Amino acid sequence: MGPLSGVRVVEFDGLGPVTFAGMLLADMGADVIRLTRAASAGTAAFEEVGGAVLHRGRSAVAVDLKAPEDRERVLALLAGADALIEGFRPGVMERLGLGPDVVSERAPALVYGRVTGWGQTGPLAADVGHDLNYLGLTGALWAMGQPDRPPPPPLNLVADYAAGAQGLVIGVLAAVLEARRTGRGRVVDAAMTDGASLLMSVFDGLGERGLWREARGANLLDGGAPFYRCYACRDARFVAVGALEPRFYAALLAGLGVPADEAPQFPPDAWPALHARFEARFVQADRDDWVARFAGTEACVTPVLTRSEAKQHPHNLARDAFDADGRPRPAPTFDGARASPAPVGIATLDEAVADWSGDQGRR
């Protein structure tokens, strides 16, 4: 049983962050019921985004939230839950008659978790957007990429998942702990812009000390430093170099065959020339040749693997990070073991309400 065994969550089906958050909660043992769109409510756009991976570990129950009888059953279900999570645009749940004020009357201890790009308030709250838009508003996107090119889309890992989904999970679990002590739930407003801004805290701290500039590709961790970036190899594959500490940098120079007195790590004015020198050196051998050369050293040189390669890497295999189908297993581990999602067995809304009736089983 996972550490969240006994925690009940109702997930209002959506895209991106709320789906990922539901997976994380289920992975850690929470009993999650995912309310999906019934046929009578019409077909949802991008219905299968995530599929068997992001939807794992929880029962899917079809509902028509515009139908009064289904809405009443959802309220009855929420009365037996610890939390709900939803990712609709601000005002949607209120228009459906399922806003925080209505729900709290039926379930005062329930935690109401909301994740959106812009948040529930502010001049942009009602606007549409996606990960890249939210990330752009925080200053985080500006800091990424090469100085002479537009910032690259960093997949949708930062705003959607790191800032939005994981921020939602942290907030919901904190509020559930409080509700079990006080008997009162909270509304958790997980805005991706807020979360992405928070993720930039370390760089604000560095900037206050004069150790970070807004110029892209000119700093220690943004690819400006020749000892913290990726390099192309002879076979058109890549290695990642993260030799930040002086002794790690010394090991990097030794592996590259570069005399230490010809390549001081600082000042930054010397970085462009060092980058060119390292670039010319790495392209002389294949990626795996460099990996073998640096194995067992402190140079912090590792391969940049494709996703399929990563699933076969000895370290990931030793940690049992992927299942037999190549899907990532739950993380983190607890006492060295990976938690397992609760059994999936509820098929209808009536079954869900009966199973969660009242406070029975809640702790």
Q: How far is the C-alpha of 52 from the C-alpha of 140, rounded, in Å? A: 31
Burial of 291 (C-beta count, 10 Å sphere; 0-12/13-18/19+): middle
Name the active-site residue from 131, 160, 189, 222.
160
| DSSP designation for 88 | P
Catalytic residue among 64, 130, 286, 355: 130
Closest CA to 119 of 183, 50, 171, 54: 171
Q: How far is CA 173 from the centre of its chain?
A: 16
Q: Cβ(49)–Cβ(121) under 8 Å?
A: no
Gap between the Cα atoms of 316 and 300, Å rounded: 18
Burial of 311: CB neighbours in 10 Å, binned 0-12, 13-18, 19+: middle
Peptide bond into 267 cis (omega under 30): yes
DSSP string, 260-282: GGG--S--GGGHHHHHHHHHHHH
Residue 32 is inside which H or E element, if any? strand 31-37
Decide: residue 96, CB within 10 A, 0-12 exposed, 13-18 middle, 19+ buried. middle
d(CA 285, CA 217): 26
DSSP β-ladder status, 111-116 and 187-191: parallel
Distance CA 21, CA 172 (A): 10
Tell me if residue 313 is catalytic.
no
User: Is residue 130 flagged as an active site residue?
Assistant: yes
- Active-site amino acid positions: 130, 160
